[in-house]
């Protein structure tokens, strides 16, 4: 459609939606102070997406819809940096920083000057070029002169503005540099997911940020929790005075800038800043490996200039290393509670980052191969801010001649049965359901709150029951009542607690089918996946009969999960357990909850606020949903009714502002009663 045929009201709406979304991205990702709910944000985004779909000529590269627009590439184009990206020389001791300070002072001929101290983020340096306020090109440092054009990947990072917010000092064409990094908690969660999905874990947050930016598919990059922090601004033709002011300008343009910066006028203040952060570094959400000290005045920076590849006006003042080298005595295998086999490094004890380390996980055989570690090697042991020691490298020069690479044993160290590595996965598993290393873990998982939710059947009780031979697997739980008298006589037990446990076991039979599916411990079938599987295969029988093709035809079930389900039911032992659960009376079919469409609730959106006296919020939600209504978590113009309980808060105010009908508890109950009795 040619642009002139787009109605001007649409153009205006599109502009307004973009402005709002940009503002909300900024509030959420840069300031961490969102002012609207996720639903409201999604609504704005959907509206914009729809308008852009109807009027494709309106799509611009800086539209908030274009963050994940890029197609996978084969190779990144090379770009040349307008000004080389220098690196910093390092100082490790106070003396070295004093030397740096003396040099600066003498070069400046005893003029007064100031430093700006900031944190040295442990991530990947990148450069962002903006033209007319719009992100034009984003690149890696590369060799400092030329880097890779990774614009599509960088656009997926929500804290990087696609268009600056407002124009400060006429700044429209400029370059920003900074660090892309991953927070430790995000990294941990991501690695946990990767490991449980049988994928290779990353070594540390820095490596995972670096590895992610090298990916050729921006969609995968978008799914990774990358963050950005800006620490450098360069603009042609605009008079900039100091680094400190540049950081303020960057903030005003909408870039995330670390709040932990300090102007220092003496080297003593610099050392003080360094000491403070050496102590506080673990309290930050991300890893830092030192502080960066920069001469503040840009004119003075210019006069100081650079030598070789680093400027004379700045230095990285590093923290004491949390790395050490030691000998890898051997690699043993550990069997997890659900059969995952993990290789463990047995190390010559070494003191690193405040403690003595003698063991560290090696994750899986690919990790060992990738790091090229042989048993007997001298390896690098590293401790990140999460204080978990990691083997992160090898000192090849110290490899003894004749040493051999690690070969994964063929059998489980706990039970001797053959171990198995599914195609496309990094982990080996022991599949013997009666493996002593797994018996307790499998039962614990079965009884866990998210699964069958058997109260009182925690780790200690499972340990006791297994060790005394009362149970060997989860199906045995449902025959435990036959041993009531023996249980009552046990140490720390009695009539009451045995009764409670048996009741809890009995009650678990009421749990829906998807929970049973989750509880039986099919690899990679977590609670969410179990619900998805149950929705498409609504009975155990149907699922057991499903072919690989049928399983894979369901959106969300990939080959890995299909394979795992097939393997689970191919095992005689597992089939027998499921059969026994069925006999015990557990739910083997999905219950059909009938949702009504003929009530005044049908299609209406409710928001609950405050406390109701007649029921919990959860019950209220279930009853509304059974009557065909929806319950949203926040009030918007799409809300039809707000149900107001005791001590209602801001949602009530919002409802009044938007003129949405409110129901007090009495009216709500009356409406429910009428509708349920139709």
Residues with a known catalytic role: 120
User: Quick one: tokens of 405?
Assistant: 């690479």
Q: How far is the CB of 67 from ligand IVH (least distance, A)?
A: 23
If 0-12 CB within 10 Å is exposed, 13-18 middle and 19+ buried, where does residue 512 land? middle
Residue of 165, 179, 138, 211 whose CA lies nearest to 64: 165
Nearer to ligand IVH, 162 or 257 (CB): 257
- 222 binding ligand IVH? (CB under 6 A): no
88 scored as a contact of ligand IVH (CB under 6 A): yes
Part of the chain binding ligand IVH (CB under 6 A), chosen from 31-39, 310-318, 534-542, 559-567: 310-318
* CA nearest to 382, candidates 676, 154, 122, 641: 122
- Integer Cα distance of 536 and 547 in angstroms: 13
Give DSSP secondary structure letters for 126-171.
EEEEEETTEEEEEEE-TTSSEEEB-HHHHHT-TTS-SB-SS-STT-
- The CB-nearest residue to ligand IVH is 125
Stretch that binds ligand IVH, among 15-23, 119-127, 318-326, 580-588 (CB under 6 A): 119-127
According to CB under 6 A, which one of 6, 86, 197, 240 is a site residue for ligand IVH? 86
Residue 336 found at the interface with ligand IVH (CB under 6 A): no
Closer to ligand IVH by Cβ: residue 79 or 612? 79
Q: Is 585 exposed, middle or buried (0-12, 13-18, 19+ CB in 10 A)?
A: exposed
Residues contacting ligand IVH: total by CB under 6 A: 15
Strand 174-182 to strand 124-131: parallel, antiparallel, or no bridges (unpaired)?
Answer: antiparallel
Which residue lies nearer to ligand IVH by CB, 261 or 672?
261
**231 vs 568, which CB is nearer to ligand IVH?**
231
Residue 349: CB minimum distance to ligand IVH, A? 32
Angle in degrees, CA 537, 538, 543, rounded to 5 = 40
Question: Helix (H, G, I), strand (E, B), or coil: what is residue 606?
Answer: strand
**Would you say 166 or 259 has its CB closer to ligand IVH?**
259
Of 87, 196, 332, 392, the one binding ligand IVH by CB under 6 A: 87
Cα–Cα nearest to 55, from 108, 99, 22, 15: 15
Per CB under 6 A, 121 contacts ligand IVH: yes
Q: Report d(CA 412, CA 397) in Å as an integer.
A: 33
- Report the nearest approach of ligand IVH to the CB of residue 147 (Å): 11
For residue 523, which of 581, 574, 590 has the smallest C-alpha distance? 574
- DSSP state, residue 589: B
Q: From the CB of 666, what's the least distance to ligand IVH, in Å?
A: 60
With contacts defined by CB under 6 A, name the span among 26-34, 309-317, 532-540, 662-670 that binds ligand IVH: 309-317
Nearer to ligand IVH, 84 or 512 (CB): 84
- Helix and strand totals (H; E) in the chain: 24, 24
118 scored as a contact of ligand IVH (CB under 6 A): yes
Tokens 């004093």, residue located: 98
Tell how far CA 320 is from the center of its chain.
28
Task: Please pick, from the candidates 24, 81, 120, 227, the single residue that binds ligand IVH as defined by CB under 6 A.
Answer: 120
Of 314, 439, 520, 522, the residue at the interface with ligand IVH (CB under 6 A) is 314
Q: Residue 457 burial by CB count (10 A; 0-12/13-18/19+): exposed, middle or buried? A: buried
Considering the rule CB under 6 A, would residue 206 count as an interface residue with ligand IVH? Answer: no
Q: Write down the least CB distance from residue 383 to ligand IVH, Å.
A: 19
CB of 294 to ligand IVH, least distance (A): 7
* Distance between CA atoms of residues 230 and 221, nearest Å: 20
In 3D space, the residue among 125, 156, 335 whose CA is nearest the CA of residue 230 turns out to be: 125
Region of 81-89, 127-135, 529-537, 645-653 interacting with ligand IVH (CB under 6 A): 81-89
Site for ligand IVH in 223-252 (CB under 6 A): 231-232
Measured from the CB atom, the residue of 288 and 532 that comes closer to ligand IVH is: 288
**What's the min distance (Å) between Cβ of 21 and ligand IVH?**
29
Instruction: Give least dist CB 236 to ligand IVH, A.
Output: 18
Q: Closest distance between ligand IVH and the C-beta of residue 392, in Å? A: 18
The residue among 297 and 609 lying less far from ligand IVH, judged by its C-beta, is 297
- Listed ranges 43-51, 114-122, 347-355, 593-601: which one lies at the site for ligand IVH (CB under 6 A): 114-122
Cα–Cα distances (Å) from 217 to 64, 156, 228, 508, 531, in that order, read 19, 11, 19, 44, 29
Binding mask 123-162 for ligand IVH (x = CB under 6 A): --x---------------x---------------------
CB 513 within 8 Å of CB 588? yes
- Start-to-end CA distance of the chain, whole Å, equals 51
Nearer to ligand IVH, 119 or 557 (CB): 119
Q: Does 641 bind ligand IVH (CB under 6 A)?
A: no
β-bridge partners, 394? 379
Burial 184-220 (b: 16+ CB within 10 A, else e): bebbbebbeebbebbbbbbbbbbebbbebbeebebee
Determine, following the binding rule CB under 6 A, whether residue 311 of this chain makes contact with ligand IVH. yes
Q: Which of 341, 360, 522, 361 is nearest to 427 (CA)?
A: 341
Q: Which is nearer to ligand IVH, 34 or 311 (CB)?
A: 311
Kindly write out the interface string for residues 171-190 of this chain, putting x where it contacts ligand IVH by CB under 6 A and - elsewhere: --------x-----------
296 binds ligand IVH (CB under 6 A): no
Q: Which is nearer to ligand IVH, 232 or 569 (CB)?
A: 232
Closest by CA to 267, choosing from 97, 470, 393, is: 97
Residue 100 makes contact with ligand IVH by CB under 6 A? no
Q: At its nearest, how many Å lie between ligand IVH and the CB of residue 121?
A: 4
Give the interface with ligand IVH as residue ranges (CB under 6 A).
86-88, 118, 120-121, 125, 141, 179, 231-232, 292, 311, 314, 316
């Amino acid at each position: 459609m040619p642009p002139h045929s787009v109605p001007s009201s649409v153009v205006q709406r599109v502009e307004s939606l973009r402005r709002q979304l940009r503002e909300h991205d900024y509030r959420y990702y840069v300031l961490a102070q969102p002012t609207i709910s996720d639903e409201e944000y999604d609504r704005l985004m959907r509206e914009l997406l729809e308008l852009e779909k109807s009027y494709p000529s309106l799509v611009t590269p800086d539209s908030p819809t274009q963050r994940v627009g890029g197609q996978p590439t084969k190779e990144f184009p090379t770009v040349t940096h307008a000004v080389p990206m220098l690196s910093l020389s390092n100082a490790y001791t106070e003396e070295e920083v004093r030397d740096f300070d003396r040099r600066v002072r003498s070069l400046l001929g005893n003029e007064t000057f100031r430093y700006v101290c900031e944190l040295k983020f442990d991530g990947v340096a990148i450069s962002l070029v903006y033209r007319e306020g719009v992100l034009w090109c984003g690149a890696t440092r590369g060799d400092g002169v030329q880097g890779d054009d990774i614009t599509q990947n960088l656009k997926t990072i929500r804290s990087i503005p696609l268009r600056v917010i407002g124009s400060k000092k006429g700044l429209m064409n400029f370059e920003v540099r900074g660090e892309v990094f991953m927070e430790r908690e995000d990294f941990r969660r991501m690695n946990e997911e990767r490991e449980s999905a049988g994928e290779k874990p990353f070594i540390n947050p820095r490596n995972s940020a670096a590895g992610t930016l090298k990916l050729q598919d921006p969609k995968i990059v978008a799914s990774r929790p990358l963050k950005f922090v800006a620490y450098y601004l360069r603009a042609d033709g605009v008079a900039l005075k100091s680094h400190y002011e540049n950081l303020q300008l960057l903030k005003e343009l909408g870039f995330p800038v670390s709040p932990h910066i300090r102007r220092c006028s003496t080297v003593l203040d610099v050392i003080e800043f360094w000491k403070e952060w050496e102590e506080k570094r673990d309290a930050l959400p991300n890893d830092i490996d030192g502080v960066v000290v920069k001469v503040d005045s840009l004119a003075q920076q210019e006069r100081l200039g650079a030598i070789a590849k680093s400027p004379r006006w700045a230095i990285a003042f590093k923290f004491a290393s949390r790395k050490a080298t030691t000998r890898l005595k051997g690699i043993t295998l550990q069997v997890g509670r659900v059969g995952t086999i993990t290789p463990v490094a047995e190390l010559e004890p070494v003191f690193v980052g405040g403690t003595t380390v003698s063991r560290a996980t090696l994750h899986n055989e690919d990790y060992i191969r990738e790091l090229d570690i042989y048993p007997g090697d001298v390896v690098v042991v590293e401790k990140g801010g999460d204080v978990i020691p990691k083997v992160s490298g090898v000192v090849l020069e110290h490899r003894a001649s004749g040493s051999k690479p690690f070969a994964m044993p063929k059998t489980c160290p706990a039970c001797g049965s053959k171990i198995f590595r599914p195609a496309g996965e990094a982990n080996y598993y022991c599949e013997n359901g009666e493996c002593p290393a797994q018996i307790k873990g499998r039962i614990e998982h079965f009884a866990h709150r998210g699964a069958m939710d058997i109260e009182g059947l925690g780790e200690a009780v499972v340990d006791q029951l297994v060790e005394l031979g009362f149970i060997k697997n989860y199906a045995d739980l449902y025959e435990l009542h036959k041993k009531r008298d023996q249980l009552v006589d046990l140490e720390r037990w009695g009539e009451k607690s045995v009764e409670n446990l048996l009741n809890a076991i009995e009650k678990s039979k009421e749990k829906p089918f998807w929970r049973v599916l989750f509880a039986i411990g099919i690899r990679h079938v977590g609670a969410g996946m179990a619900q998805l599987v149950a929705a498409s295969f609504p009975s155990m029988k149907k699922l057991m009969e499903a072919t690989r093709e049928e399983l894979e035809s369901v959106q969300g079930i990939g080959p890995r999960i299909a394979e795992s389900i097939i393997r689970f039911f191919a095992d005689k032992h597992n089939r027998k357990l499921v059969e026994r659960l069925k006999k015990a009376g557990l739910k083997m079919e999905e219950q059909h909850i009938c949702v009504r469409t003929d009530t005044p609730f049908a299609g209406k959106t409710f928001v609950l606020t405050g406390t109701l006296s007649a029921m919990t919020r959860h019950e209220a939600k279930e009853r509304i949903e059974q009557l065909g209504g929806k319950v949203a978590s926040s009030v918007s113009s799409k809300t039809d009714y707000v149900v107001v309980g005791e001590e209602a808060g801001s949602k009530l105010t919002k409802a009044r502002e938007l003129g949405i009908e409110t129901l007090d508890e009495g009216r709500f109950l009356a409406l429910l009663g009428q509708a349920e009795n139709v």
